[in-house]
Amino acid sequence: MKALFCALSDAGLAGLLASSTTAPTVRAAPTVAKDLSVDPVHSFVSFRTKHMGLSMAVGTFDTILADQSSVVFDKDMAKSSITLVVDAASVSTGVAKRDEHLRNADFFSAKEFPEIVFESKKISGTEKAFEVAGELTFHGVTKPVTAKGHVVGTSDSAEGSQVGFTAEFTFDLRDFGIEKGGAGPEVAITVDLRCVGK
């Protein structure tokens, strides 16, 4: 997924940053564009969708492919960009049998389409409220999607620059060739990213 977001739950991300053994000195956000890497240990992608039209089902994608993901952050959000790549087979709902069903041809076809990719095309707004117009590649189909989010926090320390983002978007499974009954069709995605750089 060549470009998905930098963000996931405000409280979770803030708590993780606060628990660092060496508390960084929080300063103003970088004023020039910085190339950052996604920290896969402190970043999360979760989803929420209807099950049988009666209840909500939730889950996560546990593996972000950090070596294929990239983030450029600038205080001028229009100069920022993101590519986020997720391992489709890492879907997790807490039930092994259900996870295996999601990986097969009824839904994700994870063997045939192993990566879910989000790539930004345009970012507008401010750190407090930005909008990302991009493309989502999922199940072998690429479609435009728009995410809304904000910067959770920034810091500079001896360890380097750090930026936390959270963003959300929705998509329709049918737009990506998935029409299996019982799930969706609308899926809400939340992306919480911690990005680091020197």
Average pLDDT taken over every residue of the chain: 85
Quick one: pLDDT at residue 11? 37
DSSP assignment letter at 101 = H
Worst-scoring range by mean pLDDT, 4-13, 45-54, 146-155, 189-198? 4-13
Asked whether the predicted pLDDT for residue 127 surpasses 80, the reply is yes
Asked whether the predicted pLDDT for residue 109 surpasses 70, the reply is yes
Please report the sign of the dihedral spanned by the C-alpha atoms of residue 100, residue 102, residue 105, residue 111: negative
Quick one: pLDDT at residue 2? 40
Q: What is the per-residue pLDDT across 9-23, written as a single tens digit (0 to 9) for each?
A: 443 433 333 444 444
Q: What is the per-residue pLDDT across 178-188, written as a single tens digit (0 to 9) for each?
A: 987 677 789 99
Asked whether the predicted pLDDT for residue 92 surpasses 50, the reply is yes
Quick one: pLDDT band at residue 86, thresholds 50, 70, 90?
A: very high
Domain boundaries, the chain: 10-197
Asked whether the predicted pLDDT for residue 189 surpasses 70, the reply is yes
d(CA 86, CA 121): 18
For the chain, give the percent of residues with pLDDT over 90: 69
Tell me, rounded to whole angstroms, the distance of Cα 13 from its chain centroid. 13
User: What is the number of other CB atoms lying within 10 angstroms of the CB of residue 130?
Assistant: 20
Report the predicted TM-score, pTM, of the whole model to 2 decimal places: 0.80
Structurally, at CATH architecture level, domain 10-197 sits in Beta Barrel (2.40)
Quick one: pLDDT at residue 198? 66
Amino acid at 80: S
8 Å CB contact between 141 and 175: yes
